[in-house]
A and B are shown apart, each in its own frame.
Chain A
Amino acid sequence: VQLVESGGGLVQPGRSLRLSCTVSAFNSGDYGLSWVRQAPGKGLEWVAFIKTKSLGGTTEYAPSVKGRFTLSSDDSESIAYLQMNSLKTEDTAIYYCTAVSPHLGFDFWGQGTLVTVSS
């Protein structure tokens, strides 16, 4: 399983940005994909989750991003997109894409992509 994030960069507050996560393949036990972020010098924060289409493709969001962020995937489920709207300075973080297993937790992680929200 390999996960590669892209799309990070510098964006002004209030603007939008879309992150991508390219997935080589899901582990047989994985049932979805999550984004986790880490603000500079801070801990990990779960952001969003999407189940595989075979399990319904449903999504869940952390309260801090609900209504602003949208997680989706393409038909082949080889790319997941995190659409981030109405960005705030507190959204500045490294965003990691992770595979999720109900029994193993977040078993595979990408290398992360940095999002900086600043004027």
Chain B
Amino acid sequence: QSVLTQPPSVSGAPGQRVTISCTGSSSNIGAHYDVHWYQQLPGTAPKLLLYGNNNRPSGVPDRFSGSRSGSSASLAITGLQAEDESDYYCQSYDISLNGWVFGGGTKLTVL
């Protein structure tokens, strides 16, 4: 069981907007540690998608955005495209574990 909780799956039609939630606790997200998001395409290594809650590395489309409130965070993807079909993971630092924690991952299906 992951320290950060994500829905196992979400889906949406091309062009639609989807959101993926990430729920933590007072020892990680609630302790104001940054949330980062990773995208893992099938058979490949994870790639940094968003850092510092809502910042996009160079090359990531502005269709991807993030937010954080209290002990939770969310990833929003607008204008869904077929190539967005992937697994998405949230991550934060946990002060009680003295280490990083991941969400269990969410599989996005583009219908």
Taking beta carbons and an 8 Å cutoff, which residues of A are in contact with B? 34, 36, 43-46, 49, 60-63, 96, 101, 103-112
Contacts and interface: CB of A to CB of B under 8 A. Distances in A.
B45 A106 contact: no
B45 A44 contact: no
Interface SS of A by simple majority: strand
B46 A109 contact: yes
Contacts of B97: 62-63
Interface residues of B, number: 23
B105 A44 contact: yes
B47 interface: yes
Contacts of A44: 38, 40, 46, 89, 91, 102, 105
Contacts of B36: 104-106
B91 A105 contact: yes
Contacts of A105: 34, 36, 38, 48, 51-52, 91
A28 to B, nearest CB: 15
Contacts of A61: 99
B52 A104 contact: yes
Given A103-B52, A104-B52, A43 B45 contact: no
Contacts of A107: 48, 51, 57
